[in-house]
Amino acid sequence: MKFVLDTSIFVNPEVRKNFGDNPTEAVKTFLSYAEKLFGKVEFYMPPGIYREVMHFVEGEEIRPAIELYIIKKPPNVHELKIPAFVVYELIEDIRRRIDKGLRVAEKAVRESVLDTDNVDNIIQKLRRNYRRALREGIVDSKEDFELILLAMELDATIVSADVGILTWAQKMGIKWVDSSVFREVLEGLVEKLEGKNL
């Protein structure tokens, strides 16, 4: 049994609270499960996700356990192939988002002319709306894409709370668990598998 882990488990406040009060505590809690499941369940992270997680935690508190229980591996991007219709839909989606981003930008320009004293607020709002138009719900980073590719390569289960990632996982026939229920899944696995020789 293999899981590919996203940062959201340890970093996203809504999800992380299941595991601990801060990212370091969350990783520690996770590692206590991973230790019990060692030899029965494998946990993976692609390099970009690993770097993101390490950026949020106190490294010395979780080493060397994290190196033992989380396998770092990049996907083999030169061997893997993506179904064309998934890329086709991605290109269509991006095109629509690009058009929407321009409308958001034009609206901000027209607002700022009518309210010249409020330009900083208008720019803040522009950033929020632009981000929503262009980035929310889409696989928009190589870190996210590596996660999907690695799960595909290993025939592993993706653990994520990201809508863009979960949408792609479903299009590409990849198993997934939502980060918000991952602690229960780990509890269940420990209960079922602990002590058994597989």
**Positions in the binding site for a copy of itself (CB under 8 A):** 75-85, 87-88, 90-92, 94-95, 98, 101-102, 104-106, 108-110, 112-113, 116, 119, 122-123, 126-127, 130, 134-135, 139-142, 145-146, 149
What residues contact 50, with CB distance under 8 A and at least 6 apart?
70, 72
Indicate the residue among 1 and 87 with the shorter CB distance to a copy of itself. Answer: 87
Indicate the residue among 141 and 180 with the shorter CB distance to a copy of itself. Answer: 141
Nearest distance, CB of residue 156 and a copy of itself, angstroms: 16
What residues contact 161, with CB distance under 8 A and at least 6 apart?
6, 8, 9, 12, 14, 15, 178, 179, 180
Residue for token pair 């653990």: 159
Task: Give bridge partners of residue 158 from the DSSP assignment.
Answer: 4, 176
Nearest distance, CB of residue 162 and a copy of itself, angstroms: 14
Indicate the residue among 58 and 140 with the shorter CB distance to a copy of itself. Answer: 140
Residue for token pair 């609270």: 17
Q: Identity (one letter) of the amino acid at 54?
A: M
State yes or no: cis peptide before 46, omega within 30 of 0: no
Indicate the residue among 34 and 158 with the shorter CB distance to a copy of itself. Answer: 158
Nearest distance, CB of residue 173 and a copy of itself, angstroms: 13
